[in-house]
Amino acid sequence: MKATGVVVEYNPFHNGHFYHLQETKKATGADCIIAVMSGNFLQRGEPALLSKWKRTKMALLGGADLVIELPYSFATSHAPRFAFGSIFLLQSLGAESFCFGSESGDAELFNKTHDSVNAQQETYQEHVRSFMNKGLSYPSAASRAYESLDIPLALDLSKPNNILGFEYVRASRELGSHIRPVTIKRKNADYHDVMLGRGNIASATAIRETIFKGDVKQAAPYMPHYTLEMLAEERVEKGTLMHWERFFPLLRYQLLSTSPHEINRYYEVEEGLEYRMIEAMKRSDSFETFMKHLKTKRYTWTRLQRACLHVLNKVQKDEMLAILDSSPSYIRVLGMTGNGRDYLSTVKKSLDLPLVTTVSKHDFAGLKMEAKTSLVYAQGAARDILRAEKEEFNTPPIMVN
């Protein structure tokens, strides 16, 4: 069987994601689509609207055959590590290609851009560091660094999906992988669009904004019926969809009851940020006001949210770096279709990494971090903690026929 991979968050799954999966099958001719999906916390430093289990079911109903969890350490890291962890897992599962959405829509431009940057790698990295030291975010610094190189511009690296696609290609090259990059041009909506547009495809950002305003009816045409059904289920089960405000009391307690020295030990809390976080919290009565007090030109909103996630989850630098300094050490299956199960049966004996279907049977550091952060997610959802713990440790992969 021929497999291709996609890297996803599905927060929530919408028509654009469905389009991407259908076009991925057409472009690659794959028999099996493997989705590497973030868990309960996401790369932009946010809690997922819905649990990873419901998002897994959405993915399977939408066209994915096999859903693998991207560990917390990679899922909540900056773009290069996020991309590396994702591509490593797809390579480990024997995917022949990976397909991503981009503003470019031309995979050859990504290959050419990688070759050009790689030829001046040392200069490129120096430029990145220089621009970041001037207060630019990593995406902005990477774009400016690329523009500073004495090479023709093949790809617009100011666009968010182009940047991430470039990191996927770079990760596959660093791994010495034969996995082939394929890209689908994004349709109708830009990544950061906050308004619903024409047609039936909108950005996840715009859909979330509309949902949080209480206008699910307006967002409905942009999502499959099963997404709407699971959003409704989640509201009934938890009273609300997950967002940062649900976790604000927990974050506030963490920051105001912990010494600055201890806060500085959490991942991504650097350069005195701990003092700014404490002072900002003293003046805030919501997560949004807290972020507005905290925001500076030096740090992007996303970068600060990720720091907040690590404080919330009490993830220290040493334990995070111990995982990030190596490759993912296991493959955790969240769900599969019959087709995905057939694919796993064909590659299972040749896998270099252990296959995890039940967490309680394994002792990996990444799984321990996953268990800890899942309990924090359950607190924000006001759920029975024992039930949440049992769900994390003992839930078998979701099956969708």
Q: Which residue ranges make up the annotated binding site for ATP?
A: 7-20, 101, 161, 186
Structural contact between residues 20 and 354, judged by C-beta atoms closer than 8 angstroms: no
Helix (H) or strand (E) holding 233: helix 225-238
| Pairing of β 3-8 and β 66-70 | unpaired
Task: Please state whether the peptide bond connecting residue 354 to the residue before it is cis, i.e. omega within 30 degrees of 0.
Answer: no
Structural contact between residues 320 and 267, judged by C-beta atoms closer than 8 angstroms: yes
SS3 call for 395: coil
261, two tokens: 């020295």
CA atoms within a 13 Å half-sphere pointing along the CA-CB vector of 162: 22
Q: Where are the alpha helices (DSSP H) in 11-76?
A: 15-28, 52-62, 72-75
Tokens 């200069």: give the residue.
123
- 258, 230, 256, 234: which is closest to 246 by C-alpha? 234
- Known binding-site residues equal 7-20, 101, 161, 186
Rounded Cα–Cα distance for residues 363 and 114 (Å): 37
Structural contact between residues 183 and 105, judged by C-beta atoms closer than 8 angstroms: yes
The three-point CA angle 153-158-159 to 5° equals 110
End-to-end CA distance of the chain: 18
φ, ψ of residue 292 in degrees (nearest 5): -65, -35
Helix (H) or strand (E) holding 342: helix 338-347
φ, ψ of residue 209 in degrees (nearest 5): -60, -45
SS3 call for 399: strand
Rounded Cα–Cα distance for residues 376 and 364 (Å): 19
Structural contact between residues 75 and 149, judged by C-beta atoms closer than 8 angstroms: no
